[in-house]
Structure 1
Amino acid sequence: MDLAHPTAPPAHAADASATLRLTGSVLRPLTLSLDALRAYPAVTSAPFDLRCYTTQRFIRTIEPYRGVLLTELLGDAGLRCEAHGDFKRMVFVASGHDGYAVPFTWHELFNTPVGKQVIVAYECGGAPLAEEDGAPVLFSGADLVPAPRHVKRLARIDVRVLAP
């Protein structure tokens, strides 16, 4: 158990490539294995169609993802606000091991329905996702086109406060 934050699941020493780190303007940086992610309350996504921008091929997902809400992870890490209103200028950059990165804003995650559909997935169709399957996967189910913010092999969520 994380002594700095007793409700956080324990971080496991897992293969670094299957580990997610929450860094930046947080009170408690987190390093989470797939097992640690599974210890959080689970949510599921609806099945979706995904158009791969590399191959231009459509991928129909008939099985839902299961994972943890990104906002839940951010809540456990705690957002560091050093000045009044810092949270309003926060951005969250999700990066994969391949360098692919996508942004979210505080307003988007905590002040719109988008935040209730951004998950870090560890399972698909009831079967655990392995690193070879791209785990963990970040998925934004509220986006009109899901592919641009679908990050396989999610490595890091970096919290930044933009300058005023």
Structure 2
Amino acid sequence: MKQKLFSIILMSLSLMTYAQQTQTKNFSVSGKVKTEMQIDQTSLLNHPAIAIGDVVITNHLGEKKSTAKNVKGVLIREVLTTVTPDCENPREYSEYYLVFKAIDGYTVVFSWNELFNSTVGDQAYFVVEKDGKSIQDLNESISILVPTDERTGRRYLKNLTTITVGRAQ
């Protein structure tokens, strides 16, 4: 019995250590942009936080997986307002997309127009607070969420490391 308890405690500590190691404190924005940049947790907190409330996280089938309580976020487009595609004519912005990649390889893609020229952009957030914890204390650290998605888990990306801006060919 003691050995079993010891094993459970050891496994729990290992999992907690792994979760802490995978947290991201900043992310880069690069690719087809005029100026690359680094954004950290503190700079996200410098933007006005919007109270989103409770968000049911569902899988690809629409089945409830969890509920994120008391979520607050900052609009992705507000944080990325200074990111400019590497082109001369703003008309060409419609050809651009943003690839959000997490530390575990999970990837979410938005078109430029989705974030900066549609109602999707009104609801696409960097999560800065959840379940009473600030971004610095969250296991998933820098994450994105679109609470109005029908399948919220599809674009709920945790531990963001990079945003790469690309151009469709």
Q: Secondary structure at the match of 1:138?
A: strand
Alignment of 1:28-107 (within 5 A): 28-52=35-59, 58-64=65-71, 66-82=72-88, 85-107=91-113
Structure 1: stretches of 5+ with no match in the other structure: 1-14
Structure 1 residue ranges, 4+ long, deviating more than 4 angstroms after superposition: none
**Cα separation, partners in 2 of 1:19 and 1:131, compared to 1, 3 Å:** farther
Report the TM-score, using the length of structure 2 for normalisation: 0.75
**Cα separation, partners in 2 of 1:160 and 1:135, compared to 1, 3 Å:** same
Alignment of 1:1-164 (within 5 A): 17-52=24-59, 58-64=65-71, 66-82=72-88, 85-130=91-136, 133-163=139-169
The answer to whether the 8 Å contact 1:97/1:154 transfers is yes
Q: Give distance in 1, aligned partners of 2:120 and 2:85.
A: 19
Which moved further from structure 2: 111-120 or 124-133?
124-133
**Cα separation, partners in 2 of 1:41 and 1:29, compared to 1, 3 Å:** farther
Deviation for aligned residue 1:38 = 0.7
Which of the two has higher C-alpha Rg? 2
More helix by share: 2
CA-to-aligned-CA distance 1:56-83 (integer Å, 9 cap, x gap):
762022322x232111122122232245
- How many pairs are equivalent? 146
Q: Secondary structure at the match of 2:24?
A: helix
Report the TM-score, using the length of structure 1 for normalisation: 0.77
Q: What residue identity is the alignment partner of 1:148?
A: R
Q: Give distance in 2, aligned partners of 1:25 and 1:91.
A: 10
Q: Give distance in 2, aligned partners of 1:127 and 1:84.
A: 39
The answer to whether the 8 Å contact 1:129/1:136 transfers is yes
Q: Give distance in 1, aligned partners of 2:88 and 2:114.
A: 21
Deviation for aligned residue 1:29 = 1.5
**Cα separation, partners in 2 of 1:123 and 1:87, compared to 1, 3 Å:** same
